[in-house]
C-alpha cells in the first residue's frame, strides 16, 4: 500500500531543496536520503519540512541530502519562504522558526512568477572553536581563518584563487562543518566564494556561508571598511550580505529563490520505507 506525498522543488542560486508541509512520515532522515538522491530520487541538496505553529508563520526543519539534520540554511529558508508564500497566497513578511532560532523573512515578487527576491535577518555572526581535525588540513599559517557560527558551523579561509583548492578533500577531513574559501573581488565591495557543505558536499551556493564569508572579509579588510553591503560571488550566482553594526556582527542575506516544479511521489508505508 502506498500514499502520495506532495512537495515542491526550488533552488536558490543552484542550491536546490525539496519542500514538504506536514508529511505523515515518521522517518524523515530516510525520506530525505531517498528523495534527495540524484540518481534514484528526485535530487536535491536538502529536504525542508514545514509545519505551522502558534505565534509565528511556520517552523522549518532541514535535513541534508545524507539525512543529517542541520540547524539553518540561508538559501533553504528563501526556498521555504517561496513555498510558504504560495501556500498562504500572499507575500507578507514571515517569521520562521528554525533549529537556529527565529528568522524574519521579507519577500518581494518579481516580473518572473517563478522567482522571488527575499531578505532574511540571519541574526548574529559569532566566533566558535576550531573544529576537531582542522590541523590535519595544513592551511598556510599566513592565510587568515575564521571559525564562525550562524546557528550552524563554518570555517572560512582566505585564499588567492578559489579555483585551485581541493574542497572535496578538505571537506572529507572536517565533514562536521561548512568550509568556505574566499578571495577578494573582483569588485571593490565583493568576494568570490566556493563551499563544501556539511551533509551535502560541494554545492553551487551557501547562504549562511555567504554571510560568514562577508563577515570574515570585513574583519580581514578584504573589502573597504565603509562597506555595508557585500556581494558574494558563488558558482551558482550572487547574493548580497548587509552588515548591521559590524561590531555586533548582525547580518541580512538578500537573494533569489526560484520555483522549479510541484511534484507528487508515491510514499511507501513506514515499515517499507524504513528498510529502503
Angle between helical axes of 207-220 and 74-88 (0-180°, round to 10) = 140
Tell me: do 196 and 251 sit in the same domain: yes
pLDDT for 140 equals: 73
pLDDT for 276 equals: 42
Query: What pLDDT, in 10s, does the model give residues 99-124?
Result: 999 999 999 999 999 999 999 999 99
Query: Which range marks the domain in which residue 200 is found?
Result: 126-255
Tell me: do 228 and 149 sit in the same domain: yes
Whole-number Å distance between alpha carbons of 156 and 145:
6
Tell me: do 131 and 152 sit in the same domain: yes
Q: What is the CATH number of the domain that holds 144?
A: 3.10.310.10
pLDDT for 269 equals: 67
Number of domains, the chain: 2
Tell me: do 38 and 14 sit in the same domain: yes
Whole-number Å distance between alpha carbons of 263 and 276:
21
Tell me: do 82 and 192 sit in the same domain: no
Query: What pLDDT, in 10s, does the model give residues 136-164?
Result: 887 777 788 999 999 999 999 999 999 99
Grid cell, residue 247, equals 561590531
Tell me: do 110 and 136 sit in the same domain: no
End-to-end CA separation in angstroms for the chain? 15
Tell me: do 107 and 228 sit in the same domain: no
Tell me: do 107 and 41 sit in the same domain: yes
Q: Look at residue 211 and tell me whether its pLDDT is greater than 90.
A: yes
Q: Look at residue 177 and tell me whether its pLDDT is greater than 60.
A: yes
Residue 237's nearest CA partner among 219, 209, 256 is 256
Angle at 122 between CA 203 and CA 114, to 5 degrees: 60
Q: Look at residue 53 and tell me whether its pLDDT is greater than 80.
A: no
User: What is the value of pTM for the model shown?
Assistant: 0.90
Tell me: do 14 and 92 sit in the same domain: yes
Q: Look at residue 209 and tell me whether its pLDDT is greater than 90.
A: yes
pLDDT for 141 equals: 73
Tell me: do 130 and 245 sit in the same domain: yes
Tell me: do 91 and 159 sit in the same domain: no
Tell me: do 190 and 229 sit in the same domain: yes
Amino acid at each position: 500500500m502506498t500514499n502520495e506525498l506532495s512537495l515542491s522543488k526550488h533552488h536558490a542560486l543552484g542550491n536546490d531543496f525539496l519542500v514538504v508541509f506536514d508529511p505523515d512520515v515518521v522517518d524523515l532522515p530516510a525520506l530525505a536520503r531517498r528523495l534527495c538522491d540524484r540518481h534514484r530520487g528526485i535530487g536535491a541538496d536538502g529536504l525542508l519540512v514545514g509545519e505551522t505553529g502558534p505565534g509565528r508563520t511556520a517552523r522549518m526543519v532541514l535535513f541534508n541530502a545524507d539525512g543529517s539534520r542541520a540547524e539553518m540554511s540561508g538559501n533553504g529558508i528563501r526556498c521555504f519562504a517561496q513555498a510558504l508564500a504560495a501556500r498562504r497566497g500572499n507575500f507578507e513578511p514571515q517569521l520562521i522558526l528554525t533549529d537556529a532560532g527565529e528568522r524574519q523573512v521579507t519577500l518581494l515578487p518579481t516580473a518572473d512568477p517563478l522567482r522571488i527576491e527575499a531578505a532574511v535577518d540571519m541574526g548574529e555572526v559569532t566566533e566558535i572553536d576550531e573544529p576537531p581535525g582542522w590541523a590535519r588540513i595544513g592551511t598556510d599559517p599566513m592565510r587568515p581563518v575564521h571559525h564562525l557560527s550562524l546557528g550552524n558551523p563554518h570555517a572560512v579561509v582566505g585564499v588567492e584563487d578559489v579555483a585551485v583548492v581541493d574542497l572535496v578533500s578538505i571537506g572529507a577531513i572536517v565533514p562536521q562543518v561548512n568550509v568556505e574559501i574566499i578571495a577578494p573581488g573582483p569588485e571593490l565591495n565583493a568576494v568570490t566564494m566556493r563551499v563544501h557543505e556539511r551533509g551535502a558536499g560541494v554545492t553551487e551556493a551557501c547562504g549562511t556561508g555567504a554571510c560568514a564569508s562577508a563577515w570574515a572579509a570585513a574583519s580581514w579588510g578584504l573589502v573597504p571598511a565603509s562597506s555595508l553591503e557585500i556581494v558574494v560571488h558563488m558558482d551558482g550566482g550572487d547574493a548580497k550580505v548587509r552588515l548591521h553594526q559590524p561590531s555586533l556582527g548582525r547580518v541580512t542575506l538578500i537573494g533569489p529563490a526560484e520555483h522549479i516544479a510541484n511534484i507528487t511521489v508515491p510514499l511507501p508505508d513506514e515499515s517499507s520505507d524504513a528498510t529502503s
